[in-house]
Structure 1
Amino acid sequence: MNAFYNKEGVGDTLLISLKDAAREEISYEREGDVARIFNKETKETTGFNIFNVSSYLQIEDNGPVALSETFVQDVNEILNRNGVSETLTVDLSPKFVVGHVESKEKHPNADKLNICQVNVGEETLQIVCGAPNVDKGQKVVVAKVGAVMPSGLVIKDAELRGVPSSGMICSAKELALPDAPQEKGILVLEDSREAGEAFQF
C-alpha cells in the first residue's frame, strides 16, 4: 500500500494505491467521498481516491504519505463512514534497511550489471545492481519492495535482462542525502551496522 497527497498539485484528494494496473484495465465506483478503483475483469480493488480528505484527516505530508497504524485506522474509518466495507491492512516493517552483500556475480546478459545476494536480516534478496563500486562483503542500504524513494519511485519486483531482482541497493543521491556525491556508486556503510537494521534518513 502506498499513499500520496499533494493539495497544490492534485487537490484535496488522498490517493491510495494497493496494486499496479494499466489504465485500460481499471474501472471506478463512488460511495460518498470515496472512489474505489478496481480491475474490470477480476473486480479486485487496486486503490482508493478519498476526496475532501482534509475534512476527515489532517495530512502534513506533501507527496508520499508516511504510513502508520494510526493513519491506516483513520483511513479505514473514512472508508467505513462512506459505506465501503473493505478494510485496509499494511506492512509497516521498515522498507529501507541495512544489507550485507554476501555474493556478487556478473550478469550473463549485461556487461555493467551484477547479480548480488544481499542479506537483509530475515531473508536474502537477489538484487541486480549496476553500480560500479558494489562488492561482496559490503554493508549497503537496501530499498525493499514497497519502498517509496524520495523521488516518488515505488520499488517493485522486477526482471532486468532476464534476471529477477527484488529491491534496490541505493546511492546517497537516490536517498537524497545532503552532500551526496554526484559520481555513480552506491552508499557503502560502516561495517558495524547489522543486516536488517532500519536505515533512517
Structure 2
Amino acid sequence: MLIASMNQAAFPNILVVMTQPDVEKQVTTEKQSIVRISDQADQTIGYNFLAVNELLPDLQFNGVQTLTEQQVAVLNEALVVAGFTGDLVADETPHIVVGYVQECDVHPDSDHMHVTQTQIAPDQTVQIVCGAANIAQGQKVIVATVGAVMPEGKIIWPGQLRGVQSDGMICAAREIGVAGAPAKGIMVLPDDWEVGREVTADAVAALLK
C-alpha cells in the first residue's frame, strides 16, 4: 500500500508517503533530505521526501495522488542512495470500486451491524463490517477498499469493529463525494455494474438524477 500526498501551499516540495497506519509512538530518521518514519518495532510507516522537486521535478499536485511505477522507482533509488531500503511498491489500482455482497450475517456483538463477505475483484473477497440498515446479501455496492482516501481525507485501513475484522468500507453515495445524495443508507448499484470496476462520484450522481 502506498498513499502519497502534497500540500504545496504549506510545505512546498515535500512529498509525504504513507505505507502503514499512524502510531502514537514514532521513530524518525533523516538522511539526505529523506525522513523515514517507523514504529518502535522498526516497521516503516512512511517517508517524507523533503526536496522531492530534485527527484521528480514535474511532480506538482495538492492532496492525494497516485504515483506511477516509474515515479516510485525514482523514490526507491533515492532511498537506497540515502542508506534506506527501497521498499516502496507502486499502487495504481482503483480503491473505490463495485463490490458484491456474497454473504451478510448479523454481527455477534451489535444490534445493528452486519458482517459481510464482499467480493471486490473477480479473485478477491474481503470481510467488511457494515452498520447501514439497508445492507443485504446479493447487492452490488460501493466499496472503499484498504488504501482508499475518502474525500474528507479519511484513510481506509484494516481494522476491527466491535471485535470483528473489517477490511474496507461499504459506502453511501455522499461518502464518496456525491453532493445532495441521501445521508442514510449505503448506495445500491445496478446489477449490471461489473465487480471491481472503479466507481466515481460523477457516475453515481448520474444514477441519482
TM-score, normalised on structure 2? 0.83
- 1:44 matched residue in structure 2: 43
CA pair 180-103 structure 1, distance change in 2 beyond 3 A: farther
Say how many residue pairs are matched.
Answer: 198
User: 1:100: how far off?
Assistant: 1.0
Provide the C-alpha distance between the structure 1 equivalents of 2:83 and 2:165, rounded to a whole number of angstroms: 40
User: C-alpha separation between the residues in 2 aligned to 1:64 and 1:87?
Assistant: 20
Q: Contact 1:139/1:190 (CA < 8 Å) preserved in 2?
A: yes
Aligned match of 1:127: 128
| Equivalent residues in 2 for 1:1-12, closer than 5 Å | 1-12=2-13
Unaligned runs of 5+ in 1: none
Match of 1:195 in 2: 195
Q: What letter matches 1:56 in structure 2? A: L
Residue 149 of structure 1 aligns with an amino acid whose one-letter code is M
Please show how residues 51-90 of structure 1 align to structure 2 within 5 Å. 51-57=50-56, 58-90=58-90
Q: Distance in 1 between matches of 2:91 and 2:66?
A: 12
Alpha-carbon shift at residue 82 of structure 1 (Å)? 4.0
Residues 3 and 16 of structure 1 are in contact (CA less than 8 Å); yes or no, is this contact kept in structure 2? yes
Structure 2 alignment gaps of length 5 or more:
202-209
| Aligned-CA RMSD value | 2.1
TM-score, scaled relative to structure 1: 0.86
Q: Percentage identity across aligned positions?
A: 36
Counterpart-to-counterpart distance in 1, 2:85 and 2:102: 45
Distance change (3 Å), C-alpha of 1:47 and 1:129: same
* Residue 174 of structure 1: aligned partner: 175
How far apart are residue 139 of structure 1 and its match? Answer: 0.7
How far the C-alpha of 1:155 sits from its partner, in A, is 0.9
Is the 8 Å Cα contact of residues 138 and 188 (structure 1) preserved in structure 2? yes
Return 162-171 or 59-68, whichever deviates more. 59-68
Structure 1 CA distance for aligned equivalents of residues 140 and 90 of structure 2: 28
Shift of 1:83: 4.7
In the alignment, residue 176 of structure 1 is paired with which amino acid? G
Q: Distance in 2 between matches of 1:23 and 1:103?
A: 35
SS of the aligned residue for 1:23 comes to coil
What are the equivalent positions in structure 2 for 1:107-146 lying under 5 Å apart?
107-120=107-120, 121-146=122-147
> Given the alignment of the two structures, is residue 105 of structure 1 paired with residue 137 of structure 2, yes or no?
no
